[in-house]
Amino acid sequence: MSLPPVAILAGGLATRLYPVTQTIPKSLVEVAGKPFIVHQLERLRQQGITRVVLCVGNLGDQIVELLGNGQTYDLDIQYSFDGPALRGTGGAIQQALPLLDGTFFVLYGDSYLQCDYRALDAFFHQSSSLGVMTVFRNEGQWDKSNIIFKDGLIVTYDKHQHLPEMHYIDYGLSLLKGEIFRSTPVGQAFDLADVYRQLVREKQMAGFEVTTRFYEIGSHDGLAETRAYLEHPK
């Protein structure tokens, strides 16, 4: 059975990586001899993904020029542009909905993950929830923990207020039903985290625990760690 498409959020300004990202998008930052997005796409194809929708904005034309239709990577790649104004992570997904199926993965454009997409998809189909978020028992080690996870459900998700019970972190990959965006503002910028918090309040966000740590290039420290890992993967 084919897997749902993956929407990759790759449209931000990436100010934390300045001056590197003043002239190229974060997705094209060189990591272990390749643009970071290529590492992501190769990993997705290994996992059985065949369709990708790239949500692009700032300097996004450079990404299109490099990847084209995805044939080089044995993928079908389509693009959804923010337009003249950034839409935020939530607005970017809403903009891309016509290119996505009723169910789709959402992957942050700065995350390199080693989880099993087929296992997540199977878990999602067994769940009655509208969304499933991958979670990792982080204990504040790799970044600030932001989730309370109990009995298979995300109980609390807050990126700003830390609570002692927050042992888990958003791993960087979710599987969602497109219907959750029906009530979101059209044409306005909003954060995907707002949608996630609403699902949590409605007890509609399940959690899928991953035990292998994540890598990310959202900061200079994260970029250095990811480079070291991809140059000498264990």
Helix H or strand E segment including 17: none
Any domain includes 1: no
Q: Where are the beta strands (DSSP E) in 57-213?
A: 76-81, 103-108, 111-112, 131-137, 147-150, 153-157, 168-177, 205-210
Which residue type sits at 12?
Answer: G
| Per-residue confidence (pLDDT) for residue 10, from 0 to 100 | 92
pLDDT of residue 56: 94
Tokens of 232: 């000498």
Mean pLDDT of residues grouped by 10 in the chain (234 residues)?
Answer: 93 83 91 96 96 93 96 96 83 93 94 95 94 90 84 90 87 94 83 92 95 92 94 78
- pLDDT value of residue 234: 66
Q: Counting beta carbons within 10 angstroms of the beta carbon of residue 193, is it exposed (0 to 12), middle (13 to 18) or buried (19 or more)?
A: middle
Q: Would you give the DSSP letter of residue 3?
A: P
Amino acid letter at 152?
Answer: G
Q: Which two tokens stand for residue 160?
A: 């700003």
Residues 6+ positions from 140 with CB-CB distance below 8 Å = none
Which residues make beta-bridge pairs with 154? 149
Single pTM value for the model: 0.94
Residues in a beta bridge with 124: none
- Is residue 147 within 8 Å of 170, Cβ to Cβ? yes
Residue 171's identity, in one-letter code, is Y
pLDDT of residue 86: 78
Q: What stretches of the chain adopt beta strand conformation (E)?
A: 6-10, 30-31, 34-35, 51-56, 76-81, 103-108, 111-112, 131-137, 147-150, 153-157, 168-177, 205-210, 215-216
For residue 197, what pLDDT is reported?
A: 92
- Shortest CA distance to 234 belongs to which of 217, 212, 210, 219? 212
Domain ranges, residue 90: 6-231
- Is there a domain that residue 190 lies in? yes
DSSP element (H, E) containing 110:
none
pLDDT at 37: 97
Task: Provide the 10 A C-beta neighbour count for residue 141.
Answer: 11
Residue 189 in any domain: the answer is: yes
What's the one-letter identity of residue 133? M
- CATH for 177: 3.90.550.10
Our count of domains for the chain comes to: 1
